[in-house]
Chain A
Amino acid sequence: MIKIHEDKCDLCGCCVGVCPENCIDLTESRISIEHELCTDCRKCEWACPFEVFEFKNQKATLKVPA
């Protein structure tokens, strides 16, 4: 899952331009991702000039009942 470090974000829109799912919303003062549409392609993370995005690999954990 992509995590946004909002404190680093300059709201430039570079990520919005490359997002193939059109799922990044950018207002005057806020950036957000519609996670249900995001496919974790990571293009936003790589294109961002300010390293705002962080990809967190959520490994499936197998729960074994005790």
Chain B
Amino acid sequence: MKDSYDVIVVGGGPAGSTAARFAAMEGADVLVLEKDREIGVPVRCGEAVDHEGIIEFIQPDKKFVAAEIRNFKLVAPDGTVVKPNIEGVGYVLDRRVFDYELARLAADQGAEIVTKAYVDGVTRTDGRVEGVSVQYKGERILLKSKIVIGADGVESRVGRWAGLNTTVSMHDMESAAQVTAANVDVEDDTCFFYFGEKYAPGGYLWVFPKGNRTANIGLAVAADQSRKKHALKFLEEFMETNYPDASVLSKLAGGVPCAETLEEVTMPGLMLVGDAAHQVNPVSGGGIISGMIAGKMAGKVAAEVVKKDDMSLIRKYDQEWQKSLGIRHHRYYKIKKVIYKFRDSDLNSIAAAMSKLPEAQQTLGTLFKQAVMKHPALIMDVMKLFFS
């Protein structure tokens, strides 16, 4: 580790590694600091992605694809199962290997990666971020950089230390628990989603197959609704009822920032990417692909700022993010607010209406239409959604 770099990336997840990879590819001198001792561990993720999203960054490979997904099944509170037609294919990943590969790709471009290095602050001069302070091998070291990229996840503090408010509201934080379970009978090509108060109020429960009778089984509860009963309790009850013979290979907690995308993801000397920038799809809670898309943008812009020695160019990342995915995430966030109002009875009647349709018409689009029709009070909300 040197004492100065062009770009310092805080966090070695998919967003951080992708930012590092593209910044290094464009010629910047890059350091990645990861607080954990190993890239990719622990896995705090349901691990599902779609094929189209992933191929821009890495070719799907057996070593990190645990299962290929062809179907979705949505389970209503009363047990009605809806199987919307989905096009294309998805994957349930082995994130440990996947994250390793993404970090390796960054290293191949020349990025230096250091693990077990905990960033505990940023240094600033005249409102401009100029580096980080890091706890490493028992010492506290100050490192300088032209740009810091905060890819430090849901627990991000880099932005807040620098003056960007990235606190997640209780309404938007999803409090999650997941087990990777063995000895479970699951459909190898199907992701199940369970909705309703008994499974996960203000969120959903998922069963994602990982091959060889194993699966990620988890759920997320809106933090403002988990006061009386926490995510782990919900999960333990579900496991006891549905998979009493399962063996738990890993049990993890997590937080998903299903918030509105941040207005500003940069300030002089600083960029935020991934969960740290609330770049999660607020409806699905998925953040791997959007984090990598943002990482690529941020990495390229960071290298350009360095090359041209012009800090004003950093705003290009803001603009590119807002123009591409940011605008979509604003819309998703409004949809989420509508969905949030559904009660179990609404979900049951939507599922009942869907299951009466011919199979070819059962798509996610008609599902949303049914949702609006079955809940007329929501029409105004949805109108607002498309006209605001």
A residues bordering B, Cβ < 8 Å?
Answer: 10, 12-20, 22, 25-28, 43, 46-51
Q: For residues 91 through 129 of chain B, which have their beta carbon under 8 Å from a beta carbon of chain A?
A: 116, 118, 120
Q: When A13-B153, A17-B167, A28-B36 are in contact, do A50 and B177 touch as well, CB less than 8 Å?
A: yes
- Between A and B, 28 residue pairs with Cβ closer than 8 Å are A10-B252, A10-B253, A12-B155, A12-B255, A13-B153, A15-B255, A17-B173, A17-B255, A18-B168, A18-B173, A18-B255, A20-B167, A26-B155, A28-B35, A28-B37, A46-B170, A46-B223, A47-B170, A47-B223, A47-B255, A48-B175, A48-B253, A49-B177, A49-B221, A49-B230, A49-B255, A50-B230, A51-B233
B167 touches A14 (CB 8 A): no
CB of B282 within 8 A of chain A? no
B residues bordering A, Cβ < 8 Å?
Answer: 35-37, 42, 44, 116, 118, 120, 135, 153-157, 160-161, 167-170, 173, 175-177, 221, 223-224, 226-227, 230-233, 251-255, 257
Q: When A17-B167, A22-B157, A28-B118 are in contact, do A49 and B173 touch as well, CB less than 8 Å?
A: no
A17 touches B154 (CB 8 A): yes
Q: When A10-B252, A46-B224, A47-B226 are in contact, do A17 and B156 touch as well, CB less than 8 Å?
A: yes
Q: How far is the CA of A14 from the CA of B167 in the complex (A)?
A: 11
Q: When A12-B254, A46-B226 are in contact, do A27 and B153 touch as well, CB less than 8 Å?
A: no
A22 touches B167 (CB 8 A): yes
**Chain B nearest CB: distance from A11 CB in Å?**
8
Q: In this complex, what residue of A is CB-closest to B251?
A: A10
A46 touches B167 (CB 8 A): no
Q: In this complex, what residue of B is CB-closest to A26?
A: B155
A14 touches B232 (CB 8 A): no
Given A12-B252, A13-B154, 14 other A-B contacts at CB below 8 A?
A12-B154, A12-B253, A12-B255, A16-B156, A18-B169, A18-B170, A22-B161, A43-B170, A46-B170, A47-B173, A48-B253, A49-B176, A50-B253, A51-B232
Residues of A contacting B36 in the complex (Cβ-Cβ under 8 angstroms): 28
B252 touches A14 (CB 8 A): no
Q: How far is the CA of A12 from the CA of B118 in the complex (A)?
A: 15
Q: How far is the CA of A18 from the CA of B258 in the complex (A)?
A: 12
Residues of A contacting B168 in the complex (Cβ-Cβ under 8 angstroms): 17-18
Q: How far is the CA of A17 from the CA of B262 in the complex (A)?
A: 14
Residues of B contacting A26 in the complex (Cβ-Cβ under 8 angstroms): 155
Q: In this complex, what residue of A is CB-closest to B226?
A: A46
B176 touches A46 (CB 8 A): no
B252 touches A16 (CB 8 A): no
Residues of B contacting A15 in the complex (Cβ-Cβ under 8 angstroms): 255
B37 touches A17 (CB 8 A): no
B167 touches A13 (CB 8 A): no
A49 touches B118 (CB 8 A): no
Q: In this complex, what residue of A is CB-closest to B235?
A: A49
Residues of B contacting A47 in the complex (Cβ-Cβ under 8 angstroms): 170, 173, 175, 223, 226, 255
Partner of A17, one of B155, B161, B224, B230: B155
Residues of B contacting A10 in the complex (Cβ-Cβ under 8 angstroms): 42, 251-253
A49 touches B35 (CB 8 A): no
Q: In this complex, what residue of A is CB-closest to B256?
A: A14
Residues of A contacting B167 in the complex (Cβ-Cβ under 8 angstroms): 17-20, 22
Q: In this complex, what residue of A is CB-closest to B228?
A: A46
Q: When A28-B37, A49-B232, A50-B232 are in contact, do A18 and B223 touch as well, CB less than 8 Å?
A: yes
Q: When A28-B36, A28-B37, A47-B175 are in contact, do A14 and B255 touch as well, CB less than 8 Å?
A: yes
Q: When A28-B37, A50-B232 are in contact, do A14 and B223 touch as well, CB less than 8 Å?
A: yes
Q: In this complex, what residue of A is CB-closest to B223?
A: A47
A28 touches B254 (CB 8 A): no
Residues of B contacting A20 in the complex (Cβ-Cβ under 8 angstroms): 167
**Chain B nearest CB: distance from A63 CB in Å?**
35
The 10 closest A-B pairs by CB, nearest first: A13-B155, A14-B255, A49-B231, A16-B155, A47-B223, A10-B253, A12-B253, A49-B253, A17-B168, A46-B227
Partner of B157, one of A16, A43, A48: A16
Residues of B contacting A27 in the complex (Cβ-Cβ under 8 angstroms): 35, 118, 135
Residues of B contacting A18 in the complex (Cβ-Cβ under 8 angstroms): 167-170, 173, 223, 255
Residues of A contacting B253 in the complex (Cβ-Cβ under 8 angstroms): 10, 12, 14, 48-50
